[in-house]
Amino acid sequence: MISFSYQAFVTVVSEESFHHAAQKLEVTPSAISHSIDKLEKQLGFSLLIRDRSGVKLTEDGKDVLPIIQDILNNEERLQQEANKIKGLTSGTVRLGAFSSVCINWLPTIIHNFHSQFPNVKVELIQSDFNDITLQARQGKIDLGFTCQPINERLVKALLVKDKIYCITPKDFVPANGKSITKKDVENQHFILQKSDYDGDTKAVLDQYNVAPNSIQFSIDDQSIIAMVESGLGMGILPKLAFQRINGDVSLYPFDDDFYRSIFMVMNSVQMKTPAAQKMVSCIREFIESNYPDGYLK
CA 198 to chain centre: 15
Quick: pLDDT tens for 191-247.
887 766 556 777 888 888 887 767 777 767 888 888 898 888 898 888 898 887 778
User: Between β-strands 234-238 and 190-193, what pairing exists: parallel, antiparallel or unpaired?
Assistant: parallel
Q: Span 127-151, mean pLDDT?
A: 86
- Where do the H-state alpha helices sit in the chain? 4-15, 18-25, 29-43, 59-85, 99-104, 106-116, 129-138, 182-185, 200-207, 221-229, 274-290
Q: pLDDT band at residue 97, thresholds of 50, 70 and 90?
A: very high
C-alpha dihedral (210, 214, 216, 217), degrees to nearest 10: 30
Cα separation, 9 vs 34, whole angstroms: 11
C-alpha dihedral (7, 8, 9, 14), degrees to nearest 10: 90
pTM over 0.75: no
Cα separation, 136 vs 153, whole angstroms: 10
Sketch out the chain's domains with CATH numbers: 1-64 (1.10.10.10), 157-258 (3.40.190.10)
Per the DSSP assignment, residues forming a β-bridge with 217 are 192
Cα separation, 238 vs 114, whole angstroms: 29
User: How many Cβ atoms are within 10 Å of 140's Cβ, its own excluded?
Assistant: 24
Cα separation, 294 vs 282, whole angstroms: 16
Quick: pLDDT tens for 17-70.
888 888 888 888 888 888 888 899 989 999 998 877 778 899 999 999 999 988
Quick: pLDDT tens for 156-192.
999 999 999 999 999 999 999 999 999 998 888 888 8
Instruction: For the chain, give the mean pLDDT.
Output: 85
Sorted by sequence, the CB contacts under 8 Å of residue 35 that are 6+ apart come out as: 4, 5, 8, 9
Task: Estimate the crossing angle of helix 59-85 against helix 274-290, to 10 degrees.
Answer: 80
Cα separation, 207 vs 162, whole angstroms: 18
The DSSP code sequence of 51-73 is ETTEEEE-HHHHHHHHHHHHHHH
